[in-house]
């Protein structure tokens, strides 16, 4: 299994995409919210982090469209089943886009 230097967790919605970048070596985290779904802009932002990298988001309304778009732009991306993502009771109480994106990056 390859070691990734940067993990990206995404919380994708119709009107916005929140991306959480986690540097595996330093533990530094950066969050950015993009209006809409500008996959080219998101891929360009991801390219500014050390590689190799992996992006992930929960399956849902967008289906596999983000995965295909990002793969076409050279970003390795996976779609995670919502039921397989570990979630604590505290996560349910503090539901927001940043926390969801962070949980995806950490998984």
Domain with 66 in it: what CATH number?
3.30.420.40
Domain that holds residue 12: 6-106
Report the C-alpha gap between 69 and 89 in whole angstroms: 33
Average pLDDT over the chain, rounded to an integer: 82
Q: What is the pLDDT of residues 2-27, one digit of tens each?
A: 588 899 989 888 899 999 999 888 88
Number of domains present in the structure of the chain: 1
Residue 75 included in any domain: yes
- Counting as low any pLDDT under 50, the low residues of the chain are 1
Per-residue confidence (pLDDT) for residue 1, from 0 to 100: 42
Fill in the DSSP letter of residue 77.
Answer: E
Helix (H) or strand (E) holding 90: helix 89-93
Question: Measured between alpha carbons, how far is 84 from 48 in angstroms, rounded to an integer?
Answer: 30
Cβ–Cβ contacts within 10 Å for residue 17, how many?
Answer: 24
pTM, full prediction: 0.80
Domain presence at residue 1: no
């Amino acid at each position: 299994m390859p070691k990734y230097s940067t993990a990206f967790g995404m919380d994708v919605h119709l009107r916005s995409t929140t991306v959480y970048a986690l540097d595996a070596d330093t533990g530094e985290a950066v969050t950015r919210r993009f209006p809409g779904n500008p996959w080219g802009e998101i891929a360009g932002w991801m390219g500014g982090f050390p590689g190799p990298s992996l992006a992930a988001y929960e399956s849902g309304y967008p289906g596999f469209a983000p995965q295909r778009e990002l793969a076409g732009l050279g970003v390795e991306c996976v779609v995670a089943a919502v039921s397989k993502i570990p979630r604590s009771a505290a996560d349910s109480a503090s539901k927001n886009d940043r926390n969801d994106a962070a949980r995806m990056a950490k998984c």
